[in-house]
């Protein structure tokens, strides 16, 4: 399989796949029916260069081409020069090590100056044909790794990996107090707090939320944890830790002290997944940023 710069994905039919409908052939390539409907309505499905329907039967050696629509200008996502630390980029994906204080994408409270705006500017300056699809999102004041798909094909493949738990995320967190359990699994449902836009709380009638963690180190008055969320609810890690009596250092919203740092000490440190085009296993890591390591050295070491 290949994908080129003008949003075309090419598959070659093998002997073992001959005699089946194109729809079934593409589903076996993890192209969802929803994605195929969007492609049928806004793009093209070609067999050996000719437009075909889903009921076309494929034969050995056939070249099946998915032609995705070219990215269009998004008036709600104008290019803006935003400092970016890009640690990996190819035609399908980009990995950014996001600094705290900027949003991943525009919100009502922060409509500009986001990572998305910065990437649109980066692609415009480099004459790259790409669209913004955030595969994982982190809070404005959380630092660390963010995975972005640059085309619809890659986005669909990566979101499917999330559903199948093939895409894993790991965080580092500095929490208040000494966490007694060296290893734990927190399974506590979350709901939105009444009258709040984003704040969450533990409640029996909430959505299932599971966070696993292990203690990495103890410092004076705080603990360094590695966390692996099994679900991806809003503020999940922050609420779970606060509920356990160990809020993130700096997390004023959930009971953490802001005396020594102006943001919550949570860092998206590791991402692993399979490349949407090649299937290659990929893993990226980012160490604790300077503001958290300096905090540990000055006050908790």
Positions annotated as catalytic residues are 139
Neighbours of 105 (CB within 10 A): 17
Q: List the structure tokens of 88.
A: 């990996």
Report the distance separating Cα 301 and Cα 288, nearest Å. 15
Selection from 143, 128, 242 nearest residue 186 by Cα: 242
Report the distance separating Cα 128 and Cα 105, nearest Å. 19
Rounded to the nearest 5 degrees, what angle is found at the Cα of 168, between the Cα atoms of 77 and 25? 80
Per DSSP, 54 falls in state T
CA distances from 107 to 80, 117, 146 (A): 15, 12, 17
Which residues lie below 8 Å from residue 105, measured CB to CB, with a gap of 6+?
Answer: 77, 114, 115, 116, 132, 134, 137
Rounded to the nearest 5 degrees, what angle is found at the Cα of 279, between the Cα atoms of 275 and 281? 65
Give the position of tokens 């160990």: 246
């Amino acid at each position: 399989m290949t994908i080129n710069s003008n949003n075309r994905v090419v598959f070659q039919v093998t002997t073992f796949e001959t005699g089946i409908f194109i729809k079934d052939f593409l589903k076996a390539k993890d192209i969802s029916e929803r994605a195929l409907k969007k492609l049928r309505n806004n793009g093209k499905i070609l067999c050996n260069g000719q437009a075909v329907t889903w009921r076309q039967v494929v034969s050995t050696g056939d070249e099946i081409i998915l032609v995705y629509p070219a990215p269009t200008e998004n008036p709600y996502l104008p290019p803006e020069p935003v400092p970016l630390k890009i640690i990996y980029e190819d035609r399908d994906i980009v990995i950014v090590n996001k600094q705290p204080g900027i949003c991943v994408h525009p919100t009502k409270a922060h409509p500009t100056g986001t990572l998305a705006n910065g990437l649109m500017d980066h692609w415009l300056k480099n004459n790259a044909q790409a669209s913004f699809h955030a595969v994982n999102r982190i809070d404005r004041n959380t630092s660390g790794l963010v995975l972005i798909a640059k085309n619809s094909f890659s986005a669909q493949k990566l979101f499917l990996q999330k559903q199948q738990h093939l895409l894993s995320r790991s965080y580092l967190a500095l929490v208040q107090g000494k966490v007694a359990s060296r290893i734990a699994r927190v399974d506590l449902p979350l709901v939105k707090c009444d009258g709040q836009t984003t704040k969450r709380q533990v409640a029996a009638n909430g959505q299932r939320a599971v966070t696993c963690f292990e203690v990495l180190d103890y410092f004076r008055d705080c603990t360094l944890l590695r966390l692996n969320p099994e679900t991806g609810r809003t503020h999940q890690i922050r609420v779970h830790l606060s509920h356990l009596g160990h809020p993130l250092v700096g997390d004023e919203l959930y009971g953490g002290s802001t005396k020594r740092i102006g943001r919550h000490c949570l860092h998206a440190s590791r991402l692993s997944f399979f490349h949407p085009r090649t299937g290659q296993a990929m893993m990226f890591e980012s160490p604790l940023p300077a503001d958290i390591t300096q905090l540990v050295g000055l006050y908790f070491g």
